């Protein structure tokens, strides 16, 4: 399902209103008004991200135990408030789209159903963006407690494979999981690390053309365990290598990337989470050949 920008969504809502009966048209007008309000608040959010916080603007992150400066704390608090305020209009847009799509306000056409589904999908992506921003804020403000413990790395791989199974099957990829005979242990927050690995596997599945090959592996480096997700997808150019992990940067020149909405914040968040576990995100690749995203975690001494 293609994504919509605000102008496209408002144009489609206008088209739906013209074809709808009066009662439905009035409800769609409410949706349009909420969407315009959301767009204004989102523009304010982007301004805060790019101007008021060095964190999301790409400045180096503070040391894991360092407290943000007073000005930074105020900016992050304001950003957190904006993200929370956006949830209500988003929820209203989603609710009204569901009502219209369910036929509660009158019969709709197949075309109207298609675009209402797109509006619903767009609000879901917006909710995921807000969740990610709030996770970054909580991490920087020291409100995320990382529970460091030793764990068996193969269990992490199996859980990630299970989470991505449906997407990988839908795209007809071939997934290979490689674990050494002596399974290495790692030290870190199992849940947070699982999110990182699942995000990397999800990216590999989405940005590899259908029928591609993906390899999920772990190996011991002695003092560290190395987790890797390799694919036969788009690969990484010199520009990609210089920008991957920067907030709001994406390789939009690739049609396959444009098909999937994103912000680049998940990789940025992954780098912050790993850094707070004495780990590191590593990536390399070749255009048209594929890419490998890896990360390290300490092994118990």
Using the Cα atoms of residue 116, residue 121, residue 124 and residue 126 in order, give the sign of their dihedral.
negative
Q: Residue 21 burial by CB count (10 A; 0-12/13-18/19+): exposed, middle or buried?
A: exposed
* The predicted structure's pLDDT at residue 65: 39
Q: Rounded to the nearest 5°, which phi and psi values hold at 193?
A: -70, -35
Length of the chain measured in residues: 301
| Coil, strand or helix at 76 | helix
Distance CA 156, CA 63 (A): 27
Alpha helices in 228-298 (DSSP H): 238-243, 255-258, 265-275
* The predicted structure's pLDDT at residue 296: 97
The DSSP-derived string for 179-192 is: --SSPPEEEE-HHH
* The predicted structure's pLDDT at residue 189: 95
| pLDDT tens digits in sequence order for the chain, 301 residues long | 444 556 666 676 677 667 666 766 666 676 666 566 555 555 545 554 444 444 444 444 444 433 344 345 555 565 666 666 677 777 777 787 788 778 777 777 888 788 777 777 777 777 777 777 777 777 777 777 889 999 999 999 999 999 999 999 999 999 999 999 999 999 999 999 999 999 999 989 988 999 999 999 999 999 999 999 999 988 888 888 888 877 776 666 666 666 656 666 788 889 989 999 999 999 999 888 899 999 999 999 7
Distance CA 263, CA 96 (A): 26
* The predicted structure's pLDDT at residue 73: 59
* The predicted structure's pLDDT at residue 32: 67
The domain locations on the chain are 6-140, 149-298
Q: At what angle do helices 190-206 and 153-170 cross, to 10 degrees?
A: 30
| Residue whose C-alpha is closest to residue 230's, from 296, 177, 267 | 177
pTM for the full model? 0.65
* The predicted structure's pLDDT at residue 39: 58
* The predicted structure's pLDDT at residue 90: 75
Check if the beta carbon of residue 242 is closer than 8 Å to that of residue 224. no
CATH number listed for the domain at residues 149-298: 3.30.565.10
Q: At what angle do helices 110-140 and 265-275 cross, to 10 degrees?
A: 20
According to DSSP, residue 265 is labeled H
């Amino acid at each position: 399902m293609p994504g919509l920008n605000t102008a496209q969504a408002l144009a489609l809502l206008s088209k739906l209103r013209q074809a709808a009966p009066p009662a439905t048209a009035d409800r769609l007008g409410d949706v349009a008004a909420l969407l315009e309000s959301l767009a204004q608040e989102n523009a304010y959010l982007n301004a805060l991200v790019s101007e008021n916080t060095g964190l999301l603007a790409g400045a180096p992150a503070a040391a894991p135990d360092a407290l943000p400066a007073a000005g930074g704390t105020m900016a992050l608090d304001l950003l957190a408030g904006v993200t929370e305020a956006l949830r209500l209009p988003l929820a209203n847009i989603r609710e009204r789209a569901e009502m219209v799509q369910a036929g509660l306000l009158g019969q709709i056409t197949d075309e109207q159903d298609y675009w209402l589904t797109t509006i619903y999908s767009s609000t879901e992506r917006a909710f995921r963006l807000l969740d990610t921003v709030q996770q970054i804020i909580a991490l920087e403000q020291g409100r995320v407690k990382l529970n460091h413990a030793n764990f068996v790395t193969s269990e992490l791989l199996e859980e990630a494979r299970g989470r991505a199974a449906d997407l990988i099957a839908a795209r007809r990829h071939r997934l290979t999981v490689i674990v050494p005979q002596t399974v290495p242990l790692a030290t870190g927050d199992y849940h947070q690390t699982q999110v990182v690995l699942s995000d990397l596997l999800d990216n590999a599945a989405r940005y590899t053309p259908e029928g591609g090959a993906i390899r999920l592996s772990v190996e011991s480096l002695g003092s560290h365990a190395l987790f890797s997700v390799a694919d036969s997808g788009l690969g990484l150019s010199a520009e990609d290598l210089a920008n991957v992990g920067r907030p709001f940067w994406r390789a939009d020149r690739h049609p396959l990337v444009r098909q999937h909405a994103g912000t680049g914040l998940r990789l940025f968040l992954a780098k912050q989470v790993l850094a707070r576990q004495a780990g590191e995100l590593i990536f390399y690749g070749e255009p048209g050949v594929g890419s490998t995203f890896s990360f390290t975690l300490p092994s118990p001494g």
